[in-house]
Every structure is written in structure tokens, then in C-alpha cells.
A = this chain, B = another copy of it.
């Protein structure tokens, strides 16, 4: 089990990244930022660029769309880390048709080996109506399952709405 793992759940534009960043930067730095977004188009590039501008200096950024477990294992075990976000990481693996169960197991093992504090940002995507297409339903189910698994091993879980946290755990 990780010593200090916070899962930060929330919807789109709920302020979950900003909340997590504020908690990380209250620790002694440097802080490691694992960015899982892939810039497929201009809209995505603009979002990633804006996130980068929004962050204060002092972050070491790692762009890791797939191998988050390997990246975590390569970092100093007690360094503060933010992974933003888990749901994009899942999306990347789903679209690449990777074996999700192997990926989940590798991620959980890497998380368990951390000694320093770690924050994982994830989207809650299951609170709208049932999507029309089967891939969207599969994504929604997997995202929910992954959130449950990470929440089970987390020491703290926060649900963010309008920038404000509700404590689900810890």
C-alpha cells in the first residue's frame, strides 16, 4: 500500500487539477508532474498549453501517455508526484487496444512502492445519461472501475465541484 496517495475526482472544468496542484506545492519541492495528455489536435494542444501556463515554476514535467508505472519507478521514491490525469491514460491504452488488466496491475504495483506523497487526478464520467455508442459505454465502465480500484488503495479521496472539495475518504 502507498503511504500517502490522494485520488482527486471531478468533472470537466471542476477545478480538480488546480486543487491537486495547490496540495502538491504545499510540499517541499521539486515536484514531478506526469502529464498523460496526447495532443492529437489543436484543441488538445491549446488545453495542454493552458495547463502548462497555469502551473507555477518548480515543476519537473514528464510527458507520459502510456508508461506511467515505469516513470513512477524511475523517480526518487520520496519525491512529491502529481499524475494528471488517470482518465486520459486509460483513454490512451483503450484506443491502443492494450491489455488493461496488465496495465492496472503494473500501475498499482508502482503506486505501492512510493514513499512520498502522490496525487492522481481522474475524471468522473458516469453521471450523465447512457451514451449511444458501445465504445463510449466501455470507456465509461472502465473509467469507473479504475476509479474504484485506485480509491480502494488511496489514503485520501476528494470529489471536486466548482473548485471545492468533498472528502470521500481520509
User: A166 and B159 in contact (CB under 8 A), knowing A126-B13, A144-B12?
Assistant: yes
A127 interfacial by beta-carbon distance below 8 Å: yes
For chain A, what secondary structure do more than half of its interface residues adopt (helix, strand, loop), or is it mixed?
mixed
- Where the two chains meet, the residues of A that have a C-beta atom closer than 8 Å to any C-beta of B are 7, 9-15, 43, 124-131, 134, 136-137, 139-145, 147-148, 150-152, 157, 159, 161-166, 168-169
**A126-B127, A147-B162 are known contacts; what are 16 more A-B pairs with Cβ within 8 Å?**
A9-B161, A11-B125, A12-B140, A13-B140, A13-B142, A13-B143, A15-B148, A124-B127, A125-B129, A127-B127, A127-B128, A129-B131, A148-B163, A151-B164, A162-B168, A166-B166
